[in-house]
Amino acid sequence: MSENGKTTHFGFKDVAEDQKAGLVHGVFTSVASKYDIMNDVMSMGIHRVWKDAMMDWLAPRPGQRLLDVAGGTGDISFRFLKRAPGAKSVVLDMTESMLVEGRKRAEAAQMADSLDWVTGDAMQLPFEDNQFDVYTISFGIRNVTRIQDALSEAYRVLKPGGRLMVLEFSQLPNPMMQKAYDLYSFNVIPRMGQMIAGDHDSYQYLVESIRKFPDQDTFAQMIRTAGFSNVKYRNLTMGIAALHSGWKL
Ligand SMILES: C[S@@+](CC[C@H](N)C(=O)[O-])C[C@H]1O[C@@H](n2cnc3c(N)ncnc32)[C@H](O)[C@@H]1O
């Protein structure tokens, strides 16, 4: 148990609350160099379609300032900057080796001038209030120990009129489809992780963590609780993933 006596989940395991961030950090340190290729293989490229759908709904505008939390290797920031001339992005992540991979990609794409890379925690952002036009978090929030704290921080650092958008795995509404999806994710993904990244356990955690994340309506309510208005969601690929949007008004 943690010093405050609280426990949380790490995949299907119960752990002390103050141990979870270290375990998540271990997972992403281990997978960082193979993260991008594994995303393409595991999702058969569909994560790209979901990230493009996120941009379609977000409609980035020239000159906006984006904070991309749990931004990892930079997928969301690169897409945002390509659609919004003169925009700037801060990619924040708690795993330095994910940011290192992202920086290499930014150099290769000659986008480094529009990007800052910051090591930090979604639950305690190292920024003043009212700084950003847009806050994104893509496939990151389910790994955060106290999700409600991260949402409150998102609200705090957004300017009035700013927008939150979350892309995350979600729940399929149909039990038959959920069963088929579980068969794939629990049997295939950890084995692929072993074959491609030499790491079965990290990918076992990833699929378990998807199951522990709240469903679409519950998560939408958590976003409202953090203070956001006009909260809406859209399912992607029948609910395998979902986009959630909210405004700081
Ligand atoms: C699955 S990756 C997502 C990367 C990228 N956003 C994408 O969509 O491809 C999840 C990232 O969340 C980061 N992360 C997890 N918990 C975090 C926290 N509390 N604060 C900041 N980053 C966190 C991990 O280090 C990891 O890089």
What spacing in Å lies between the alpha carbon of 150 and ligand 1's midpoint?
Answer: 12
Quick check: is 114 in a domain? Answer: yes
Q: What is the pLDDT of residues 41-96, one digit of tens each?
A: 989 999 999 999 999 999 999 999 999 999 999 999 999 999 999 999 999 999 99
176 CA to centre of ligand 1 in angstroms: 30
End-to-end CA distance of the chain: 39
Cα of 70 vs centre of ligand 1, distance in Å, is 3
Q: What pLDDT score was predicted for residue 2?
A: 58
Domain contains 60: yes
Is 20 inside any structural domain?
no
Residue 1 has pLDDT above 60, yes or no: no
User: Ligand 1 pocket: which residues have CB below 6 Å?
Assistant: 21, 24, 28, 70-72, 75-76, 93-95, 98, 121-123, 138-140, 143-144
The band of 151, judged by pLDDT with boundaries at 50, 70 and 90, is: very high
Domain span holding position 167: 25-174+211-247
Query: What pLDDT is stored for residue 149 in this prediction?
Result: 98
Q: Is residue 48 part of a domain?
A: yes
Burial class (CB in 10 A: 0-12, 13-18, 19+), 23: middle
pLDDT in tens, 185-218: 999 999 999 998 889 999 999 999 999 999 999 9
Annotated binding site for S-adenosyl-L-methionine: 73, 93, 121-122, 138
- In-domain check, residue 136: yes
Count other C-beta atoms under 10 Å from residue 244's C-beta. 22
Answer yes or no: pTM beyond 0.75: yes
Name the CA dihedral angle for 83, 84, 89, 94, rounded to a multiple of 10 degrees: -20
Does some domain include residue 206?
no
Tens-place pLDDT, residues 39-56:
999 899 999 999 999 999
Q: CB atoms < 10 A from the CB of 237, how many?
A: 15
Report the domain count for the chain: 1
Q: What is the pLDDT of residue 5?
A: 82
Residue closest to 140 by CA, chosen among 203, 190, 200, 94: 94
CATH code for the domain in which residue 81 is found? 3.40.50.150
In the sheet where 88-93 sits, what is the strand order? Answer: 115-119, 88-93, 65-69, 132-138, 158-169, 241-247, 229-236
Are 169 and 139 spatial neighbours (Cβ–Cβ below 8 Å)? yes
Output the average pLDDT for the chain: 95
**134 part of a folded domain:** yes
Q: Is residue 205 part of a domain?
A: no
